[in-house]
Chain A
Amino acid sequence: MPDGTGTQFVRIAGLKRYFDVSAPWLVRMIESRPRQIVQAVDGIDIEIAKGETFSLVGESGCGKSTVARLVVGLYPPTDGTIEFDGNDMAGRHSRADMAALRRRMQMIFQDPYASLNPRWRVFDIIAEPIRAFGLSKDKADLQKRVEDLLRQVKLTPADGRKFPHEFSGGQRQRVSIARALASQPEFLVCDEPTSALDVSVQAQILNLMVDLQRRFGLTYLFISHNLAVVYHISTRVGVMYLGRLVEVAPTETLFTRPKHPYTRMLLDTIPDLDMTGRQRAPVAGEVPSPINPPSGCTFHPRCPFANDRCKVERPMPLAIEGGTVACHAIEEGRLPVEERSYAVNS
């Protein structure tokens, strides 16, 4: 991983976000219940270089979507910093400076049915960021920009007059992408952009995203629970578990030489489509509640390699093979690195 040389485009350090899910004050007083805090994101560090695709994977409730929302500023962080191209997002900026920064990052949401205003025509949906950031000179310019955007996502200018309900799921996701591209951003945060879509449509959208990245030099933060999709699209991958990053590695390394026991477990659950007869090892246990996460390493109750140290001491990220791993067993050399290969489709 390239580090600390100032080439990092997005730098996230010690990022935390806690949510207070306590009962109302009076109820707490009467029933003498304690406050309940969800540690959705509990101290993560990520550095993303310009032009790369960094993916976050994990099961539901591991905090990956919260990270996405923190990065674009939809939530303020509880602690930690987010630097975008050298600018601290929490620093003191004038309104105009902030708008200029915000213009350069956009988000694509999971559900193309919920993230488009059903009462707006597609033209207006795509034109909104252009209007909001004052990017067009006049009406004709706006018209031209929107038509170009529609063409870039393989829709037609005539589609601008339609409403979102007239489109299929894949086409709506194209509209979302066109809207995200409207402000000419450099950094796109994609929160499960294809999980609501059928596989053949998913392939269309992923191909489109790769094309656009090459054309505009975009940097992606890609959030997904689908490991095969992540393998296909990313440069580097971060694996999250209960609000923490357990492993970060270049894609090829992560899939062929996984280190953290949780990463290995996740890889074991990928369905075997090549019919190699590899058995999916069903993993015992479920993700614990982030309200009362286990002590020490949060994965220790499910981990076959956990010892007493894992139960009390939180493992810190350790640099290894171009990535980082937060695991005592790896640090102590108790757990050998395992080579994996995947059958190549004939």
Chain B
Amino acid sequence: MTTPSNNPPLLEVKNLRVEFPTRRGTLLAVDDISFDIAPGEVLGMVGESGAGKSLTGNAIIGLLEPPGCIAGGEIRLEGRRIDNLPYEEMRKVRGARIGAIFQDPLTSLNPLYSIGRQLVETIQTHLPLSAAQARTRALDLLKEVGIPGAETRIDHYPHQFSGGMRQRVVIALALCAGPRLIVADEPTTALDVSIQAQIIALLKRLCREHGTAVMLVTHDMGVIAETADRVAVMYAGRIAEVGPVRDVVKHAKHPYTKGLMGSIPSLGVRTERLTQIDGAMPRLTEIPEGCAFNPRCTERGTRCLVERPDLMAAGTSRAACWLHDRGGVGAPLMAQRSGGETVDA
């Protein structure tokens, strides 16, 4: 894949598969996806709940919850393979090379330790600094993420901070050891809109200043549109479309992305009805043959029912859709409309 710059990619994900073995068979939650992130780039990963976007993020930071496991493919950070590292080795990478920001800032901080202690602990784990030096660095970080009165706030406990301030602390924690990549999983979802704007501006500024790449996992297209350089749209464990954010938002190539963009109410145009995609994303146990989106697709053809499309060039983006193949979709078919979304899942 071409990246905006000619640098070698910082993160390379190739044919990644994440599986969940269950009693009733193995569920393929992330199905053979490949992408990469250039140094300093912000890649947005967007999709609806259950599309596998968070699992992809967790697989990269090595925090898949059992029984979920990486069943195939490889993840390389700065050319070094990290998906098969032993636990202790991965711990050194995580935090030092890859930082993580999670959705809920309250649960990602330890309520029993002051935030200063948590920062100092993280800094000392990854950097060879004395306690005093680590504290100075912690203080600098807190100032950098815009916590007013950092000198006194450093000894406060997480419950003494508001949601937005807590998320700033979590960002400071992720930046502690100067990572090259931050995996941010829904960093603004738990926050109010006005605070959301503050956090996004902060994240953007810090990444620019530090040259840190970000993989931004979210379901909020608005956040992606403002923050990301490129965006990957996930559907049922696969990447449906990937491309520069502007092209994906304004000129979506995959029918799913088109529907998704149309279903977001926008300002300025008041339509009577929003565009809707009928039905719901299939359950992992019931992923259809061929293209996973075919039962809901209005442009499907016979080929979509049997043959699975891979990502192919579609303008400046790449989309997994036969519409963009020379062979086309085959004979056109009507979308299944037997009672619309009444067909369970």
Contacts and interface: CB of A to CB of B under 8 A. Distances in A.
Interface stretch (A5-13, A73-81, A85-93, A225-233): A225-233
Across the A-B interface, give the 8 residue pairs with the lowest CB-CB distance, nearest first: A271-B222, A342-B268, A203-B263, A232-B265, A198-B48, A203-B274, A342-B267, A282-B198
Given A200-B276, A275-B246, A346-B250, A286 B267 contact: no
B54 to A, nearest CB: 14
Interface in B303-345: 339-342, 344-345
Contacts, number: 144
Contacts of A159: 342, 344
17 contacts: A154-B339, A171-B344, A198-B219, A199-B219, A203-B264, A203-B265, A203-B275, A204-B341, A206-B274, A210-B273, A270-B222, A271-B225, A272-B226, A274-B250, A275-B245, A282-B201, A286-B195
Nearest to A344: B268
Given A170-B280, A199-B260, A346-B250, 5 more contacts: A203-B277, A251-B270, A271-B220, A342-B266, A345-B268
Given A203-B274, A286-B162, A231 B250 contact: no
Contact of B193 (A171, A210, A269, A284): A269
Contact size range, A: 35 or more
B342 A200 contact: no
Given A159-B342, A200-B259, A210-B273, A345 B266 contact: yes
A251 B270 CA distance: 10
A232 to B, nearest CB: 4
Contacts of B49: 169, 198
Interface of A: 59-60, 154-156, 159, 166-171, 198-204, 206-207, 210, 225, 227-229, 231-233, 251-252, 255, 265-266, 268-275, 280-284, 286-287, 341-346
B161 to A, nearest CB: 10
Nearest to B280: A168
Contacts of A169: 49
Contact size range, B: 35 or more
A202 B260 CA distance: 11
B341 A59 contact: no
B227 to A, nearest CB: 9
A160 B160 CA distance: 47
B267 A228 contact: yes
B249 A273 contact: yes
B6 interface: no
Contacts of B178: none
A232 B194 contact: no
Nearest to A159: B342
A167 B269 contact: no
B267 A231 contact: yes
